[in-house]
Amino acid sequence: MAELTYREAVARGIAQEMRRDENVVFLGEDVAKAGGVFKATVGLYDEFGPLRVRDTPISEQAILGAAMGAAMTGLKPIAEIMFSDFLAVCFDFIANEFPKSRYMSNGQTKCPLVVRTGNGAGSRFGAQHSQSVENWAMMIPGLKVVAPSSPADVIGLLAASVRDPDPVIFFEHKSLYAVKGEVPDGEILDTLGTAKILRAGKDATIIALALMVPRALEAADILARDHGIDCEVIDVRSLVPLDTQTILGSVSRTGRLFTVEENPRLCGWGAEIASIAADECFYDLDGPIVRITTPHIPLPAADNLEDIVLPTPQRIVQKIVQSMN
C-alpha cells in the first residue's frame, strides 16, 4: 500500500496500461518531456519513449482527430485535452464522430479511446478555464463519462476506461491533483458504472462527484455532530453508465435525496438523477429532492467570488438542515 497524490495516480494509471498493452499510446500538448501542464504525466516519456508518448501541436481538433484515426486502426489511444473547457473547440469529434462510429458502421468500426481532461474550478483560472462540463459529455449517446475523486479510483477507473471498447471522457478535477490517498500495490482495475457508498447513513442520501465528494463527506460529519442528521454519502464516479441500483437503493432507505454538483444548475447531472429518483422512488421520498449547485453564471476568477459560488461544506449543511427541518 502506497500513498500517492491524485496527479501521481494519473501517471501510474497510464503507465500500468501502457506496460500491459503495447497498443496503448498517449498524446497531447506538453505531455511528453514536460510531464504535462499539471505535472500529471511525469516519467511516461522516459519509460515509453517518443513513439508511444507524443507531444502534439496546440490544436484540440488535431489531437482528437489523430486519436480517433489511431483507435479505428487498432491502437488504444489516451488523448489529453488540457482544460475541459477546450472540449468546445473539438466538440464535433466528441458529439458526432467518436460516439457514432460503431453505431453507423454496424459494429464494423470500433473507437476504443480515452480523452483525459482537467475539469473544474478552485484554481482561480477564470471563466474559460474553470468550468465543470461533465454534463456536456453526459448528454451524448455513445460516450461513457467518468469523474474519479480519489487516487485509487483514478487508477482503477482509468484502467477500465482504457480497456473499454467505447470512447470514454475521463474528467480529472484540477483541484484534486495535490490530494493524497492510499493506493494498493499491484495492478488496479475497477468497473465503469459503479457508484461507491463512502459513508453509511439513515436520514438522507447525498450524491456527489469529484471535488464535491470530500466536501459532502465533511458536511455529513458536521450534520451528524452538530444537528443529529445521519447522511449517507455516495460518490457517483461514473455518470455514463450510471449506477442507478446503488443510488435508488439508498434513496429508498433514507427517504431524502440531495445532490451536490459543481456544474451550473441548469441541466446539471443532478437534474437527471433527480428525475430518475422521482420516477422510481416517488412513494419512498419523505420530502422534495434538493439540488445544491453552482449558480448559472460564468465562473469568476477572483478567489473570494469563486469560493462563494461553489458548493461548500457549510452551504451543504445549511441547505440540508433547512430542508430536513
Catalytic positions, please?
Answer: 129
Phi first, then psi, for residue 197 (nearest 5°) are -85, 110
Q: Which three cell numbers stand for residue 113?
A: 479511446
**What are the start-end ranges of the E strands in the chain?**
2-5, 24-28, 53-55, 76-83, 114-119, 144-146, 168-173, 180-183, 196-199, 204-208, 231-235, 238-240, 257-264, 290-294
120 contacts 179 by C-beta, under 8 angstroms: no
Phi first, then psi, for residue 279 (nearest 5°) are -70, -45
**Grid cell 518531456 in the structure block, residue:** 33
The one-letter amino acid at 79:
A
CA distance 138 to 269: 8
